[in-house]
Amino acid sequence: MNGAETLLHTLVRGGVTTCFGNPGTSEVHFVKGLDTVPEMRCVLALAENVATGAADGFSRISGGTAATLLHCGPGLANGLSNLHNAQKAGSSIVNVVGDQAQFHAPLNPPLASETLNYARTVSAWTRQSKSSLSVGTDAATAIAQARSGGGAIASLILPSDVCWGPGGSIGTVAPFGPRPSVPDEAVSAAASLAGFGSSTAFILGDDALCGDAPRFAAAIAAKTGAIVLAHSFIRRVERGGDRPLIERVPYAVPPAQKLFADIRNVVLVGAQRPVFAFAGPDGVSGPEVPGTLFSSLGAAGDDIEGALREVSARLGCELLKPESSWAWDPIERAHGEISSLAFGQSLAALMPEDCIVVDEGVTFGRSAYGATHCARRHDWLQLTGGAIGSGLPLATGAAIAAPQRRVVSLQADGSGLYTVQALWTQARERLDITTVVFSNRKYEILFNEMKRMGVDPGASADKLFSLENPSLDWVRIAQGFGVEAATACTMDEFNDLFLHSLTRSGPFLIELQIPN
């Protein structure tokens, strides 16, 4: 058994059985090792940012740990921006990066680069294995680290000689302990603040958006009048059907400021303090009014659900029966011209029970979240770190994690072009993904943000924020990557194509032609 095989056995023993990668020469021993470790599934991506984004999506939906397989510093660099998003999501990833043999690297071969420094920027833990004999221990430590704090990125750099040398012992991963409890003082303070009613907002972080946590939060709101919001950049929220309705802190500045106008106390429930994606010359960084008091009910990775249960118990809340308030009310699909609102309505009407929605819809897609509060039960995944090109890879990984569920991938065109190569992996793995590309043929968000900065878009903005001249033909691009596709120019065409996509297996792409 060589080092690469020891690594693979350790990953499998530690429950890490899915790997997304694009191997190179330094990874050939890993690839060969896969022949002898059939429990490990390795999914090929045409570009590394597809692999890392898919690992993120896999972790978000499986709740487990994904592995990557990347090639040297530049291969890692190509995957960094979706690792950035994964880090912000608290996803659990063992990021495996092959590299030059240790005796060879000092000679400065072409691919020599600062692999360790790249890895550290997105990782909670980074190690370069020094010896094939210790790679089992290193990999076991990486898995444990990837499961710490509710989910983290642990990067393991593997020089070639560590892969081809004798492998030593398979590592054993220590069982992961329970999540830390939130201190009682924080629970008491949160219960007191809830008593102020609608001048208090609970902002739910990712750990409060799955399982029973949202129901406890909704019960607190119902009892006290306090406002409950999800944070803006959601890893995964379980919603729809009989689940409580939770609004997000809006991305756009004016509605966020309006929402916070009467709020004086904010309880951060495993959440970060809300902050705008960008500040403008007005110097305003967040939505709150001056003097707002912030307090915390736990940090990401803590037992957030337990803390909300305790707050609701102290307030004597009654858990609302699901059917009394949130039962799914059949929604009519929209007809006629395509618009953001019409799209949201049709989506809410047609999306199937227990589907997974991946939302990188940016401007046109922004209303879809609100429109689907009362749709059938589903999970909703978002861009977490602002690095666009997350959607198609996330959908790919989510579909691999949940092969029995339909993934609905809402994709802005500009962002989708960053990682369009993901379509090929969707075709190769025959994933049940319906992608809807919002073809508005521009970086619409930049026109909006420019105006917010007090700048009138001019000729250069018209050129640099436009995706016209030539127009991108998403149907041909998708077909070129092996994915069936068609264009919808009306809502009726969209409805038909969307329903058609659900009746077939494998990926399908709908290019939604948004009128100018």
221-280: contacts with a second copy (CB under 8 A):
233, 272-273, 275-280
Residue 124 within binding range of a second copy, rule CB under 8 A: no
Q: What is the DSSP string of 163-184?
A: HHSB--PPP-PPPPPPPPPPPH
Q: Which is nearer to a second copy, 161 or 310 (CB)?
A: 161
CB of 264 to a second copy, least distance (A): 20
Q: Specify the stretch interacting with a second copy by CB under 8 A; choose among 38-46, 292-300, 401-409, 433-441.
A: 38-46
At 223, give phi and psi (nearest 5°).
Answer: -75, -40
137: left (phi over 0), alpha (psi -120 to 50) or beta: alpha
Q: Specify the stretch interacting with a second copy by CB under 8 A; choose among 56-64, 102-110, 142-150, 331-339.
A: 102-110
Q: Specify the stretch interacting with a second copy by CB under 8 A; choose among 24-32, 55-63, 172-180, 332-340.
A: 24-32
CA-to-CA distance for 227 and 317, rounded, in angstroms?
15
Q: Specify the stretch interacting with a second copy by CB under 8 A; choose among 21-29, 137-145, 198-206, 211-219.
A: 21-29
Q: Which is nearer to a second copy, 72 or 311 (CB)?
A: 72
CB of 440 to a second copy, least distance (A): 15
Chain residues 158-177 in contact with a second copy, contact rule CB under 8 A: 160-161, 164
Q: Specify the stretch interacting with a second copy by CB under 8 A; choose among 111-119, 255-263, 363-371, 404-412.
A: 111-119
CB of 352 to a second copy, least distance (A): 25
Q: Which is nearer to a second copy, 151 or 240 (CB)?
A: 151
x/- track of binding to a second copy for residues 353-392 (CB under 8 A)? -------------------------------xxxx-x---
Q: Which is nearer to a second copy, 23 or 171 (CB)?
A: 23
Q: Which is nearer to a second copy, 233 or 508 (CB)?
A: 233
- Residues forming beta bridges with residue 125, ordered by sequence position: 154
CB of 82 to a second copy, least distance (A): 9
CB of 117 to a second copy, least distance (A): 6
Among residues 3, 23, 171, 393, which is the contact residue for a second copy, using CB under 8 A? Answer: 23
Longest dimension (CA), the chain: 70
Q: What is the DSSP string of 457-469?
A: --HHHHHHTB--S
Chain residues 48-67 in contact with a second copy, contact rule CB under 8 A: 49
CA-to-CA distance for 125 and 86, rounded, in angstroms?
14
Residue 121 within binding range of a second copy, rule CB under 8 A: yes
User: Which whole-number Å values give the CA distances from 376 to 213, 240, 502, in the listed order?
Assistant: 19, 5, 15
The CA angle 13-304-203, to the nearest 5 degrees, is 130
Chain residues 278-317 in contact with a second copy, contact rule CB under 8 A: 278-281, 283, 285-286
Torsion of CA 74, 78, 83, 84, to 10 degrees: 100
CB of 337 to a second copy, least distance (A): 25
Nearby residues of 313 by Cβ (< 8 Å), 6 or more positions away: none
Among residues 1, 46, 189, 502, which is the contact residue for a second copy, using CB under 8 A? Answer: 46
Q: Which of 113-127 are b and which e, b meaning 16 or more Cβ less than 10 Å from the residue's Cβ?
A: bebbebbeebbbbbb
CA-to-CA distance for 84 and 413, rounded, in angstroms?
21
Chain residues 420-459 in contact with a second copy, contact rule CB under 8 A: 420-421, 424, 427-428, 445-446, 449-450, 453, 455-459
Residue 18 within binding range of a second copy, rule CB under 8 A: no
> How buried is residue 392: exposed, middle or buried, by Cβ count under 10 Å (0-12/13-18/19+)?
buried
CB of 287 to a second copy, least distance (A): 12
CB of 69 to a second copy, least distance (A): 9
Residue 149 within binding range of a second copy, rule CB under 8 A: no
Say if residue 274 is preceded by a cis peptide, omega within 30 of 0: no
Among residues 1, 62, 64, 101, which is the contact residue for a second copy, using CB under 8 A? Answer: 101
- Residues forming beta bridges with residue 68, ordered by sequence position: 20, 95
Residues in contact with a second copy, counted by CB under 8 A, come to a total of: 100
Sign of the dihedral defined by the CA atoms of residues 361, 362, 367, 373, in that order: positive
Count the neighbouring beta carbons within 10 Å of the beta carbon of residue 447. 16
Among residues 9, 13, 84, 442, which is the contact residue for a second copy, using CB under 8 A? Answer: 84
Sign of the dihedral defined by the CA atoms of residues 263, 267, 269, 271, in that order: positive
CA-to-CA distance for 462 and 468, rounded, in angstroms?
10
Among residues 39, 114, 262, 353, which is the contact residue for a second copy, using CB under 8 A? Answer: 114
